[in-house]
């Protein structure tokens, strides 16, 4: 027999044992056909062995190879069935007669022909989200697996209440509080402090000409005179606008500037800035990434990567050197240019902003509340300083000494009862006694305003000695030269500084 035929027989036997496919038993027909093809011979008296009788196989001639081959195949199939049965027990479907469902399936009897049993129909399994398919050759075991018994949870053991510990003799314990525990109270976050006021709007040249914002995200809004400005303010004007810094300095600008803190100073973004902080704390001015420190009357002009400096009084400190009074120079990243002479008149011809510059207030007395230690002569009645008789005059000490500069003017509002030959203004200095000047009353019995340049004063005891720039005033006096029958009244008096050359 060829190898192909043997393989076919072996496959059929395995399908019968493993796959429960019972092939038809053709052994009888095969043996009958073989007997018909051979001539009839006398039958021997020898009987078949018991194994042959049990399988129903008739006498076979020794010369035929079919019998031994079939026997070998059957033995091989039985051996394979035993091995498979030992490794994987199978369960047969429960019979209708009430047999146990978990009865094991016995291996088929290889000595008797197996009956063909149709496979039971298995209902289709329900679809699941993620089915776990069994192995193709070995079907899943339908027997229910025993589950471990649920573990009973024991209730927690009750701890008997412990009596409170006794305090040692002589010791007094603090009673326990019955209030519920308080949650930790966290301090509220500190609110952001408002920015400090750094300036006040003094005057605006045009109606709705000054606009303000504090951040790039804000819209520009109109600012009126009298509004206070805080650090971080950015101002833009059409025309010109005047500011008074908290230090008392006066600033006028046209264009755009930014206000920093007192330490940061001013930033000139566009156009020009005039600053008067003479005899006041120094101010930092920056423009085009350049920075200077000023103490005087100075005009600044912002250029492209440059800053022009024109100093009328005082001085300006720059990284490239000093710019003194009456000098102009330009500062760039490379340094300071050579200084040239300048004057207020020359600058005013070029810059209309410098025409009619505002005056800066240095000192003022309203005679509302003058403490006794500052009164020298006269009396204060209803907010008016008054003197008459032999001492027809008013004299008070300044609250803070004032240093004389060019452009300083004394302004006052006064009234006299009769027209004396002359009135006298006298200022006491800390360096060299009293200095005075004389003037005449324009009207009698009416209030009038007078302006007297303080640089016109001369020494009281020597009319040929003028006052020096830089002297410090400490008191103010005004009286009639002929006090007989005269009365002098002063409503207010002040010292202002007007821009001028040194």
**Cβ atoms of 399 and 461 closer than 8 Å:** no
**Spatial separation of the C-alpha atoms in residues 196 and 199, rounded to whole Å:** 9
Cβ neighbours around 42 below 10 Å, total: 5
The CATH architecture that domain 197-358 belongs to is: Sandwich (2.60)
**Spatial separation of the C-alpha atoms in residues 112 and 110, rounded to whole Å:** 6
Residue 468: both structure tokens together: 């020096």
Residue 400's contacts (CB-CB under 8 Å, 6 or more residues apart) are 363
Cβ neighbours around 234 below 10 Å, total: 19
* pLDDT recorded at residue 163: 56
Per-residue pLDDT of the chain (502 residues; tens, 9 = 90+): 677 877 887 887 777 777 666 656 777 788 888 777 765 555 554 444 444 444 444 444 454 566 677 777 887 877 777 777 666 554 444 444 444 444 444 444 444 444 444 444 545 544 444 444 444 444 445 455 555 555 555 555 555 555 555 555 555 555 555 555 555 555 544 445 568 999 999 999 888 899 999 999 999 999 999 999 999 999 999 999 999 999 999 999 999 999 998 888 999 999 999 999 999 999 999 998 999 999 999 999 999 999 999 999 999 999 999 999 999 999 999 999 999 999 999 999 999 999 889 899 999 999 988 898 998 888 999 999 998 877 788 999 998 999 999 999 999 999 988 766 789 999 999 999 999 999 988 888 899 999 999 999 999 989 899 999 999 999 999 988 877 778 899 999 999 999 999 8
Look-up of token digits 């810094």: 245
Single pTM value for the model: 0.59
Residue 445: both structure tokens together: 């019995």
**Spatial separation of the C-alpha atoms in residues 300 and 12, rounded to whole Å:** 114
* pLDDT recorded at residue 156: 58
Domain ranges of the chain: 1-29+74-89+106-113, 197-358, 361-497
Residue 404: both structure tokens together: 């004389």
Residue 452's contacts (CB-CB under 8 Å, 6 or more residues apart) are 409, 410, 411, 425, 437, 439
The CATH architecture that domain 361-497 belongs to is: Sandwich (2.60)
Same fold, 197-358 and 361-497: yes
Compute the Cα dihedral for 133, 139, 142, 145 and give only its sign: negative
Distance of CA 415 to the CA centre of its chain: 63
**Spatial separation of the C-alpha atoms in residues 396 and 104, rounded to whole Å:** 131
The DSSP bridge partners found for residue 4 are none
**Region for residue 418 given its phi and psi (left: phi exceeds 0; alpha: psi -120 to 50; beta: otherwise):** beta
Strand 448-453 vs strand 266-276: parallel, antiparallel, or unpaired? unpaired
* pLDDT recorded at residue 345: 94
**H runs (alpha helix) in 22-128:** 27-37, 50-55, 66-87
* C-alpha distances in Å from residue 59, one per residue of 39, 45, 67, 71, 326: 14, 11, 10, 14, 151
């Amino acid at each position: 027999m060829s190898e192909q035929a043997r393989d076919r027989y072996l496959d059929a036997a395995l399908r019968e044992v493993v796959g429960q496919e019972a092939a038809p038993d053709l052994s009888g027909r095969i043996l009958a056909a073989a007997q018909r093809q051979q001539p009839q011979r006398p039958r021997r008296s020898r009987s078949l062995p018991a194994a042959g009788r049990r399988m129903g196989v008739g006498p076979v001639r020794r010369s035929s190879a079919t019998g031994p081959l079939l026997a070998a195949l059957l033995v091989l199939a039985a051996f394979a069935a035993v091995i498979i049965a030992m490794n994987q027990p199978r369960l047969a479907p429960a019979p209708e007669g009430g047999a146990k469902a978990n009865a094991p399936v016995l291996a088929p009897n290889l000595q008797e022909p197996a009956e063909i049993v149709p496979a039971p129909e298995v209902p289709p399994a329900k679809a699941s989200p993620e089915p776990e398919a069994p192995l193709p050759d070995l079907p899943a075991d339908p027997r229910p697996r025993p589950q471990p018994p649920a573990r009973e949870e024991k209730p927690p053991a009750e701890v008997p209440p412990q009596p409170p510990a006794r305090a040692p003799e002589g010791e007094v314990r603090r009673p326990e509080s019955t209030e519920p525990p308080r949650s930790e109270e966290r301090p509220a976050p500190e609110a952001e402090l408002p920015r400090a006021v750094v300036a006040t709007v003094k005057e605006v040249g045009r109606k709705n000409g000054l606009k303000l914002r504090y951040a790039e995200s804000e819209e520009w809004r109109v600012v009126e005179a009298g509004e206070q400005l805080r650090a971080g303010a950015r101002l833009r004007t059409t025309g010109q606008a005047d500011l008074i810094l908290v230090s008392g300095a006066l600033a006028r600008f046209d264009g755009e500037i930014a206000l920093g803190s007192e330490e940061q100073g001013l930033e000139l973004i566009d156009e020009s800035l005039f600053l008067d902080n003479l005899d006041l704390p120094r101010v930092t001015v920056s423009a085009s990434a350049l920075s200077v420190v000023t103490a005087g009357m100075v005009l600044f002009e912002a250029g492209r990567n440059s800053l022009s400096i024109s100093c009328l009084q005082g001085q300006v400190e720059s990284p490239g050197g000093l710019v003194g009074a009456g000098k102009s120079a330009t500062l760039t990243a490379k340094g300071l240019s050579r200084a040239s002479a300048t004057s207020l008149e020359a600058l005013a011809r070029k810059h209309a902003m410098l025409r009619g510059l505002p005056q800066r207030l240095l000192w003022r007395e309203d005679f509302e509340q003058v403490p006794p230690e500052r009164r020298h002569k006269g009396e204060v009645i209803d907010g008016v300083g008054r003197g008459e008789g032999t001492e027809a005059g008013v004299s008070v000490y300044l609250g803070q000494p004032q240093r004389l500069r060019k452009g300083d003017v004394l302004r006052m509002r006064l009234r006299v009862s009769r027209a004396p030959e002359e009135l006298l203004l006298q200022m006491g200095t800390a360096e060299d006694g009293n200095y005075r000047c004389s003037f005449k009353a324009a009207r009698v019995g009416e209030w009038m305003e007078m302006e007297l340049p303080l640089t016109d004063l001369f020494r009281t005891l020597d009319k040929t000695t003028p006052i020096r720039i830089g002297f410090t005033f400490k008191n103010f006096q005004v009286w009639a030269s002929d006090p007989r029958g005269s009365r002098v009244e002063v409503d207010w008096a002040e010292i202002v500084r007007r821009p001028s050359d040194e």
